């Protein structure tokens, strides 16, 4: 049987307890990763993992093997404790299996003085990828953007060394002003096979606009080209606020994209949508439709209902729609008619040419102060079967919010089958299914938190999962209509970013 391979750029510093490699961004702590691999197939499979350093050299001693992993089950790898043969440093991982697999990777800090694994904020998540491309689009790249900057990691997943990796930075346009300098490039980079390279914008003063509204700042996009297939992961940092958001670069676009979650004034939470036009020559004419979901929406005028707007996006640029504190009329689509004081729902984006969509999810600093990011999902990728690599309920203070979005105009139902892991859960290797209604062109949310009392599928079923509901595992979703999904993981850590956000996987 042909093996399925996925790649993860471990875009963080990895360190053993006897090393002292401090984070440049957050003094006194070092970066670690933990990742979850799920068997998406129909039968058991062996899963093998190999690590490569920044020169593309295989770390043979750190090879891992999980045998006979059941269908629907997952395995958690925590670098801090599970990879003693991996020296401190930054690595890429190649994961192989005999059945389809998916993986998500978490980034987190651990204090250098810690005597055990005790991650601290900020946290973020991104997805493993099964193949690369010769061109990658990054719709959100920042330098000195009101406390934010970015860094991205490019991994060579081709058949040989990549000797011509080029980056072009393209400023955006906001409120009629150009948000950065034009013409900035970084060319002729070399990346060994299976290695990853870091590109940081933290000190790139040449990206800042020379004058005007955004003097000394940059918010725009980047296009990466290579002579070998590559993948990319972007970190968005606000170090003073201890916020980190991470997303996967885009190998291609779509004319019909779903974004399962968008918020405005939602108990301190809000979203930013970036719609990028990868074309070199054509303007994208896009339509954005916001659809409210559930009983949580409120307006100060008008009637609660869908909001539809249109916009033009110039070649190589990205449109930003912001619904956070201080959002102006030029930045938001939800303050006209009706005027939403609180919005929670999903968004659909259609275009006459291919575009890409990336969404940031944040909370105000006087509230939960969370931050996360996810990629818009092409509607063409929607299916009736979805795999979620990680679901948490009362897992050492962590929980998940799962949102499933209907990409059709027909109402349906979805059955979610949760499978606990074999190590950390209170009830191990257990599966149970729960059914939810899915409105036409709408969404439903399963929240496994405990604010205001336990809610969710797992939290409220103590007969199945135990009174001490500590659950970590995967979920398989089967719907009667095509759908997509998105997950938040978070913990109630006051005024610190403890949020992981990630896309799920359609089968």
**Third-level CATH fold of 4-126:** Hypothetical Protein Tm1070; Chain: A (2.60.290)
* pLDDT tens over the chain, length 507 residues: 456 566 555 543 222 221 224 456 778 888 888 888 888 888 999 999 989 999 999 999 999 999 999 988 888 888 888 988 988 888 888 889 999 888 888 888 888 888 888 888 888 888 888 889 999 999 999 999 999 999 999 999 999 999 999 999 999 888 788 999 999 999 999 999 999 999 999 999 999 999 999 999 999 999 999 999 999 999 999 888 888 889 999 998 999 999 999 999 998 899 999 999 999 899 999 999 999 988 889 999 999 999 999 999 999 888 999 999 989 888 999 999 999 999 999 999 999 999 999 998 888 877 677 888 889 999 999 999 999 988 999 998 889 999 999 999 999 999 999 999 988 999 999 999 999 999 999 899 999 987 767 789 999 999 999 988 999 999 999 999 999 998 988 887 656 777 788 888 898
Structure tokens at 447: 């929240």
**Third-level CATH fold of 133-248:** Hypothetical Protein Tm1070; Chain: A (2.60.290)
pLDDT at position 13, please?
27
Burial 180-204 (b: 16+ CB within 10 A, else e): bbeebeeeebebbbbbbbebbbeeb
H or E stretch covering 335:
none
**Residue 138: partners with Cβ closer than 8 Å, 6 or more residues away:** 152, 221, 222, 223, 224, 232, 234, 249, 250, 276
pLDDT at position 367, please?
67
Say how far apart CA 386 and CA 414 lie, in whole Å. Answer: 10
CA 72 to the chain's CA centroid = 21
Residue range 254-380, CATH number: 2.60.290.11
pLDDT at position 494, please?
58
Nearest to 218 by CA among 142, 331, 273: 142
Structure tokens at 187: 């060319």
pLDDT at position 3, please?
61
Beta-sheet pairing, 89-97 with 177-179: unpaired
H or E stretch covering 80:
helix 79-82
In this structure, is the dihedral angle defined by the CA atoms of residues 254, 256, 259 and 262, taken in order, positive or negative? positive
**For 3, which DSSP code?**
P
**For 60, which DSSP code?**
G
The whole-model pTM stands at: 0.87
Instruction: Work out the number of other CB atoms within 10 angstroms of the CB of residue 279.
Output: 18
Nearest to 71 by CA among 106, 41, 51, 29: 41
Say how far apart CA 241 and CA 109 lie, in whole Å. Answer: 15
Nearest to 250 by CA among 148, 156, 147, 377: 377
CB 297 within 8 A of CB 340: yes
Q: Which segments of the chain belong to CATH 2.60.290.11?
A: 4-126, 254-380, 382-506
CA-angle at 90, arms to 86 and 96, nearest 5°? 65
Say how far apart CA 7 and CA 442 lie, in whole Å. Answer: 33
CATH class as words, domain 382-506: mainly beta
**Residue 425: partners with Cβ closer than 8 Å, 6 or more residues away:** 470, 471, 472, 473
pLDDT at position 392, please?
94
Nearest to 486 by CA among 473, 498, 505, 504: 504
């Amino acid at each position: 049987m042909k093996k399925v391979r996925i790649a993860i750029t471990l875009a963080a510093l990895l360190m053993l307890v006897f090393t002292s490699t401090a984070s440049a961004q957050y003094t006194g702590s070092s970066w670690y990763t933990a990742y979850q691999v799920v068997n998406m197939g129909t039968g058991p499979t062996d899963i093998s993992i190999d690590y490569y350093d920044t020169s593309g050299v295989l770390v043979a001693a750190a090879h891992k093997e999980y045998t006979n992993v059941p269908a629907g089950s997952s395995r958690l790898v925590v670098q801090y404790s599970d990879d003693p043969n991996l020296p401190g440093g930054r690595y890429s991982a190649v994961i192989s299996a005999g059945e389809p697999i998916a993986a998500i990777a978490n980034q987190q800090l651990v204090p250098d003085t810690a005597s055990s694994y005790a991650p601290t904020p900020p946290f973020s998540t991104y997805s493993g990828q099964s193949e690369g491309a010769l061109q990658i689009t990054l719709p959100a790249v920042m330098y000195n953007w009101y406390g934010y900057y970015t860094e991205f990691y490019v991994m060579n997943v081709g058949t040989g060394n990549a000797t011509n990796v080029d980056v072009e930075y393209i400023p955006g346009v906001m409120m009629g002003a150009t948000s950065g300098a034009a013409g900035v490039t970084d060319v002729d980079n070399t990346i060994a096979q299976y290695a990853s390279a870091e590109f940081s914008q933290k000190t790139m003063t040449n990206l800042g606009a020379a004058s005007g509204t955004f003097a000394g700042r940059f918010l725009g996009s980047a296009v990466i080209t290579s002579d070998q297939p590559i993948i990319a992961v972007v970190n968005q940092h606000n170090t003073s606020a201890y916020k980190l958001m991470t997303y996967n670069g885009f190998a291609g676009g779509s004319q019909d994209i779903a974004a399962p979650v968008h918020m405005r004034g939602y108990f301190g939470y809000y979203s930013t949508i970036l719609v990028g036009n990868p074309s070199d020559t054509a303007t994208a004419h896009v339509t954005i439709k916001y659809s409210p979901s559930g009983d949580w929406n409120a307006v100060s005028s008008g009637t609660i209902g869908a909001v539809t707007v249109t916009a033009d996006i110039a070649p190589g640029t990205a449109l930003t729609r912001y619904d956070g504190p201080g959002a102006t009329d030029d930045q938001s689509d939800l303050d006209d008619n009706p005027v939403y004081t609180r919005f929670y729902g999903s968004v659909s984006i259609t275009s006459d040419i291919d575009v890409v969509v990336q969404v940031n999810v944040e909370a105000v600093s006087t509230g939960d102060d969370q931050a996360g990011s996810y990629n818009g999902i092409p509607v063409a990728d929607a299916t009736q079967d979805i795999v979620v690599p990680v679901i948490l309920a009362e897992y050492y203070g962590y929980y998940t919010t799962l949102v499933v979005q209907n990409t059709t105009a027909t109402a349906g139902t979805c059955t979610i089958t949760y499978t606990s892991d074999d190590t950390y859960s209170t009830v191990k290797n257990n599966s149970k299914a729960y059914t939810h209604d899915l409105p036409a062109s709408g969404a439903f949310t399963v929240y496994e938190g405990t604010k205001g009392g336990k809610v969710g599928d797992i939290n409220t079923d103590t007969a199945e999962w135990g009174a001490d509901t500590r659950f970590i595992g995967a979920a398989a979703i089967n719907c009667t209509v095509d759908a997509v999904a998105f997950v938040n993981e978070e913990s109630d850590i006051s005024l610190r970013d403890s949020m992981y956000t990630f896309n799920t996987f359609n089968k």
